[in-house]
Amino acid sequence: MHFIQMGLRSAFDYAERALDRLFGPNANPLGQLGALGYFLFWIVTVSGFYVFAVFDTGVARAFQSVEWMSGPHWWHAGLMRSFHRYASDLMIVVMLLHLVREFALDRFRGARWFSWFTGVPLIAFLYVCGVTGYWLVWDKLAQYVATTSTELLDWMPIFGEPIARNFLDPSSLSDRFFTLLVFLHIAVPIILLFVMWVHIQRISGPKVNPPRLLGGIVLVALTVVSLLMPAVSQGPADLARIPSPVRLDSLYLILYPLADRAPGVAWVALAAIGVVLALVPFLPPRRQPAIAKVFLDHCNGCGRCVADCPYEALQLAPRTDGAVYRSEVVVDASKCVSCGICVGSCPSTTPFRRTGDLVTGIDLPDYSFARMRADVIAACAAPREGRRVLAIVCKHGGGRKLAASPDLAVLELPCVAMAPPSLVDFALSRKLADGVAIVGCSERSCYNRLGVEWTKQRLAQERDPYLRSRVPRERLATIWASATETGAVASAIEELRTNLPPLASDAGPRPGGLSARQPEEMRS
Ligand code: HEM
Ligand code: SF4
Ligand code: SF4
């Protein structure tokens, strides 16, 4: 599975870098797939209301009303019909790309199973929305969809009477059945929206709106395609004839040829896809590193960690230890992924504290801040040959393969935002290193969602805890690179080293080197 993921990640990296040049990193569509899914849902809803206002739900008149839209009223109703069709198609493409990208980035395991698991029914609901939509037009394609879908449903012993009977001849199809279909085409999107809302409940600050530029580009593209290739029907349905041949939509109706020929095999394929997708987050089972632990004696209830946790795993609650503060922080064990971002946000997490036993307000039991500080000191205590760089590396980003050398000390963390900015200050002011490189994931695909963003804001003094002004910025580099861009990271570190001004107390050439990589128990 790892090799498939790395292959897919390389493909996404390649495509994303190319799209960066066209759209810029902020509007890169591949970095905004979830938000685009939401945006397209609203476009489909608005255009759907418009189309519904002029649609006739009677069996006999449905086709004529659709023809009326695409014929004399093409410039408003026809345009909206095409918008509705193409935005729905694009939603499938966006959803499937989003699924594959989250898989490639490995953002679905352990405590993060929830978004993936709730994404699986989203696929089913979106397909039901599309299929019922094609049905409503009541053209030849609709007739094919109706007969194939009902034969597929009849294959399972769900209904007492075979529903395919409704499509045997014109007299057997009633307006009531058609009204039920209209109801389904409206009710299922409401359920879809509800599940979309559930889908993002366990992540903080989910992006549900794309940047304006990207939204504008999507709207313009949909308008152009709708004008150049308006959605058209395939001739009126006629239950007295077998509706063939029909042009199938290869996105929504991809399984229909199989369902038509072998409904049993189609059911097996659907069930297999559903079960495999639902089990993906749990196969193989992954040992969860110990979750964040609160140390009340060092917590003043400021809430910074609550604001920074990307997974809604922290909450403020009334104080229980009788201290003067009003609140304390509480960890939800089922949501914590042990990313350590809360450790980096706590005001008690400072390496300058003189206490022998360095305790923070919130810490990771498997890799405490005290150990991180000791690791930095140990890594940088080794004799150096030239100018030494301390690389603070995210284990999911482009620095994951960096090897320590006499001039490079490496501190590997579950997320670069676990390191508070004071650690950079500490390394430079104590002259442990001549320069510090923070090497995180690519800006578009932070493994821990918000780690890159919070680190950038802390270094720019836009978010607490921020990097003090006294820290010489020319000795600090931030490198954002995805797991496949290891070569670019090595070059960027070399560039930092080459441009470093010498420290007053440069120790001179000495051999040796040490790495402060993460302990084995954190590597999962
Ligand atoms: C209608 C279709 C869908 C929409 C609109 C949608 C939307 C979203 C949004 C807005 C996010 C949050 C992105 C962020 O700000 O980090 C997200 C995350 C995610 N989605 Fe979807 N999604 C859809 C379908 C799916 C499907 C089919 C799957 C997989 C089966 C899936 C898996 C995930 C995962 C794994 C995450 C990341 C959670 C994390 O970072 O822990 N989604 N989705
Ligand atoms: S380690 Fe901290 S920031 Fe990360 S998920 Fe757990 S509580 Fe949230
Ligand atoms: S950031 Fe630290 S002090 Fe503030 S609430 Fe969280 S644990 Fe407590």
pLDDT digits (tens, 9 = 90+) for 469-517: 999 999 999 999 998 888 999 999 999 999 998 765 554 433 333 344 4
Ligand nearest to the CA of 189: 1
245 prior amide bond cis, ω within 30: yes
| Paired residues of 413 in beta bridges | 394
Phi, psi of 327 (to 5 degrees): -125, 165
Q: Is the pLDDT of residue 323 over 70?
A: yes
Mean pLDDT of 145-170: 80
C-alpha 262 – ligand 3 centre gap (Å): 60
C-alpha 329 – ligand 3 centre gap (Å): 7
Rounded Cα distance, 291 and 366, in Å: 8
- Residue 520, burial from CB neighbour count under 10 angstroms (0-12, 13-18, 19+): exposed
The predicted structure's pLDDT at residue 520: 43
Judge if the beta carbon of residue 331 lies within 6 A of ligand 2: yes
Mutation test of ligand 3: which of 306, 329, 349, 464 has the most ligand atoms closer than 8 Å to its C-beta?
Answer: 329
Q: In terms of pLDDT, which residue wins out, 75 or 386?
A: 75
The predicted structure's pLDDT at residue 355: 60
The predicted structure's pLDDT at residue 174: 74
Ligand nearest to the CA of 99: 1
Sheet holding 476-480, edge to edge: 476-480, 435-440, 389-394, 408-413, 515-516
pTM of the model: 0.91
Q: Hey, whose CA ends up nearest to atom 1 of ligand 3?
A: 346
Mutation test of ligand 2: which of 328, 336, 395, 418 has the most ligand atoms closer than 8 Å to its C-beta?
Answer: 336
Mean pLDDT of 319-333: 95
The predicted structure's pLDDT at residue 284: 81
Ligand nearest to the CA of 123: 1
Query: pLDDT tens digits for 192-211?
Result: 999 999 999 999 999 999 99
Q: Hey, whose CA ends up nearest to atom 30 of ligand 1?
A: 119
Ligand nearest to the CA of 418: 2
pLDDT above 90: percentage of residues in the chain: 71
pLDDT category of residue 95 using cuts at 50, 70 and 90: very high
Mutation test of ligand 1: which of 38, 96, 102 has the most ligand atoms closer than 8 Å to its C-beta?
Answer: 102
Quick check: 51 and 81 in contact, CB under 8 A? yes
The predicted structure's pLDDT at residue 38: 98
Mutation test of ligand 3: which of 348, 353, 418, 458 has the most ligand atoms closer than 8 Å to its C-beta?
Answer: 348
**Nearest-5° Cα angle at 253, 249 to 257:** 110
The predicted structure's pLDDT at residue 513: 35
Q: Which atom of ligand 1 is nearest to the CA of 36?
A: 5
Rounded Cα distance, 80 and 51, in Å: 6
Nearest to 334 by CA among 41, 113, 92: 113
Q: Hey, whose CA ends up nearest to atom 2 of ligand 3?
A: 346
Q: Is the pLDDT of residue 167 over 80?
A: no
Ligand nearest to the CA of 303: 3
281 prior amide bond cis, ω within 30: no
pLDDT above 70: percentage of residues in the chain: 94
The predicted structure's pLDDT at residue 227: 96
**Nearest-5° Cα angle at 274, 269 to 275:** 100
C-alpha 425 – ligand 2 centre gap (Å): 24
Q: Which atom of ligand 2 is nearest to the CA of 448?
A: 4
Q: Is the pLDDT of residue 521 over 60?
A: no
Q: Which atom of ligand 3 is nearest to the CA of 308?
A: 1
Q: Hey, whose CA ends up nearest to atom 5 of ligand 1?
A: 37
Q: Hey, whose CA ends up nearest to atom 2 of ligand 2?
A: 342
Which of 365-379, 407-421, 500-514 shows the lowest mean pLDDT across its residues? Answer: 500-514
The predicted structure's pLDDT at residue 507: 46
Query: pLDDT tens digits for 334-359?
Result: 999 999 999 999 999 999 987 667 89
The predicted structure's pLDDT at residue 168: 67
Mean pLDDT of 63-72: 92
| Paired residues of 188 in beta bridges | none
Angle between helices 175-199 and 33-54 (to 10 degrees): 160
Q: Is the pLDDT of residue 245 over 80?
A: no
Phi, psi of 84 (to 5 degrees): -60, -45
The predicted structure's pLDDT at residue 509: 39
Nearest to 314 by CA among 295, 297, 339, 333: 333
